[in-house]
Structure 1
């Protein structure tokens, strides 16, 4: 059960952190292209001749979804930790 617990931990972390990753990627792209990115509104950001400002703004604002994803991911991580620890003790007990 160690592997199953470990996978649950990874899935929980991915669920909880996905909005943060989206916001960080948007911030990095905007910074690399000299664009302004904030929560106040959509700013133009021309990348390869196209305005990517609305997309970057939506990705940046997706960080607020962590309000929902952290409470979803935390119990998954907790169950994964319990399964991982139980798997460790079972292995020691049988050895």
Structure 2
């Protein structure tokens, strides 16, 4: 359940990064102003990249929860390490 919550919290950030990576790899321009044409194999993915990038605005209200998932993951990792080292 916690993993699902972390995935939901991090989804807007992952979509933003994915849109930027795809735009960079394909040589397309993507920004928040409007959807630019980006034809790949005869299909225009510009509007899709635009929507994915605009999802990045949801990162702002989710930043505290994203930080909590990072802190919780670090604590869980430390607890696992301590359990391994202790006989």
The question of a shared fold, defined as TM-score above 0.5 by the shorter chain, is answered with: yes
> For residue 42 of structure 2, what is the aligned residue in structure 1?
49
Runs of 4 or more above 4 Å deviation: 76-92
Unaligned runs of 5+ in 1: 1-6
Contact (CA 8 Å) 1:19, 1:66: kept in 2 or not?
A: yes
Task: Please point out which of 54, 67, 70 is paired with 2:63.
Answer: 70
Separation in 1, partners of 2:82, 2:23 = 48
Deviations 1:17-58 (CA, angstroms, capped at 9, x unpaired): 332221111111112222111111110110110111110001
Separation in 2, partners of 1:17, 1:44 = 27
Separation in 1, partners of 2:65, 2:37 = 34
Q: So what's the TM-score if we normalise by structure 1?
A: 0.61
Give the aligned length.
85
Residue 89 of structure 1: how far off its partner (Å):
6.8
Q: Cα RMSD between the aligned structures?
A: 2.9
Task: Please point out which of 10, 27, 32 is paired with 1:17.
Answer: 10
> For residue 25 of structure 2, what is the aligned residue in structure 1?
32
- Higher Rg: 1
